[in-house]
Amino acid sequence: MPELPEVENVCRGLSEIVPQGSTIQSFEFFRKDLRFKLPIKKLQSFKGAQLRSIERRAKYILFKTDRGVLFSHLGMTGQWRELKKSESRGKHDHLLIAFSKNIQIVYSDPRRFGFFDWATDNIESHPRFKEIGIEPLSEEFNADFLEKFFAHKDSPVKSALLDQKGVAGLGNIYVCEALFRTGIRPQKKARLVPALKLPLLVKEIKKILEASILAGGSTIKDYRNPVNGQGGYQDQHLVYGREGQLCSICHSPIKNLRLSGRSSFWCPTCQD
């Protein structure tokens, strides 16, 4: 479900609900088998920790505390929301964190592809983050970076952009959109994308992500922010989910091609 803009909105929403300086009072685990087994003992050791901030890295939500970092990945259908004391939990609520001042947040995830883990303050030394590439909204992400990352890659450019070891945070929606807006067909081998096109690709990726963050992310089906609101960026999708509809530029039908097991929406006329 959630890509960078959605995760960013979840972090911002959670920050509104749980103020900086709140203390973790307790955890409740309703299910311990998510994508991976929850490190319950370790998570319990955060009881009493003081929250410094809630931030995003790639598609991860980082709860930064004075005892280290607890982090959450939403998988496809993960959701965080506030659970008021009077409310009862839902079928797919798996984990609850109670903070000071009676603030509770709950993690819900029907497909259970999400997961949790913890790290020291220096998260980049955690094995999981060692494998994670650079932030697409950072200065580091530029045409030179892409040129090096794409060099010798025989995989389709679409798959290369989805590879979190390169640029971290893009997912199926935003890669499809970015390739359409730069006129690059998704199945083109990464190493064959003309270097001349890379500055535009970088620019469009940043533009799309920023616009989507601003719009509250994309809600196709499941995504909701922590106050249960939908995103608005789906209205600006030009190809994603639009198979058979007419291309906004040339009016030929949008196609859907399967690449590495993922649907890839594209316009055969506008993209080469």
Partner DNA sequence: AGGAAAACCTGCGTGC
Partner DNA sequence: TGCACGCAGGTTTTCC
Catalytic residues: 2-3, 59, 262
Binding mask 112-131 for DNA (x = CB under 7 A): xx--------------x--x
**Using rule CB under 7 A, residue 219 touches DNA:** yes
Among 171, 186, 216, 226, binds DNA (CB under 7 A): 171
Q: Would you count residue 263 as binding DNA (CB under 7 A)?
A: yes
Q: How far is CA 79 from CA 13, 72, 82, in A?
A: 11, 10, 10
Which residue matches tokens 């389709």?
Answer: 156
Out of 2, 68, 166, 186, the residue judged to bind DNA by CB under 7 A: 2
Q: How far is the CB of 91 from DNA (least distance, A)?
A: 6
**Of 35 and 52, CB closest to DNA:** 35
Is 39 a residue that touches DNA (CB under 7 A)? Answer: no
Out of 220, 229, 257, 268, the residue judged to bind DNA by CB under 7 A: 220
Cα dist. 57→39, 86, 170, 249, 254 in Å?
20, 33, 12, 34, 33
Residues 176-205 that bind DNA (CB under 7 A): none
R_g over Cα of the chain: 20
**Nearest residue (CB) to DNA, 29 versus 113:** 113
Q: Which is nearer to DNA, 68 or 156 (CB)?
A: 156
What is the helix (H) or strand (E) element at residue 174, kind and residue range? helix 172-181
Task: Give the dihedral sign, CA 258/259/265/271.
Answer: negative
Stretch that binds DNA, among 14-22, 136-144, 178-186, 258-266 (CB under 7 A): 258-266
Q: Which of 12, 126, 153, 203 binds DNA (CB under 7 A)?
A: 153
Edge to edge, the sheet with strand 60-65 lists 51-57, 60-65, 68-73, 115-119
**Do 186 and 264 form a contact (C-beta atoms < 8 A)?**
yes
Give the three-class secondary structure for 54.
strand
Complex with DNA: residue 197 or 262, whichever CB lies closer? 262
Residue 61 beta carbon to DNA: minimum distance, rounded to whole angstroms: 11
**Per-residue burial over 223-259, b = 16 or more CB atoms within 10 Å of its CB, e = otherwise:** bbbbeeeebebbeebbbbbbeeeebeeeeeebbebeb
Stretch that binds DNA, among 79-87, 136-144, 208-216, 255-263 (CB under 7 A): 255-263
Name beta bridge partners: 54.
63
Min. distance of Cβ 111 from DNA in angstroms?
Answer: 3
Interface with DNA (CB under 7 A): 1-3, 6, 33, 35, 58-59, 73, 75-76, 91-92, 110-113, 128, 131, 153-156, 159, 162, 164, 171-173, 217-223, 258-263
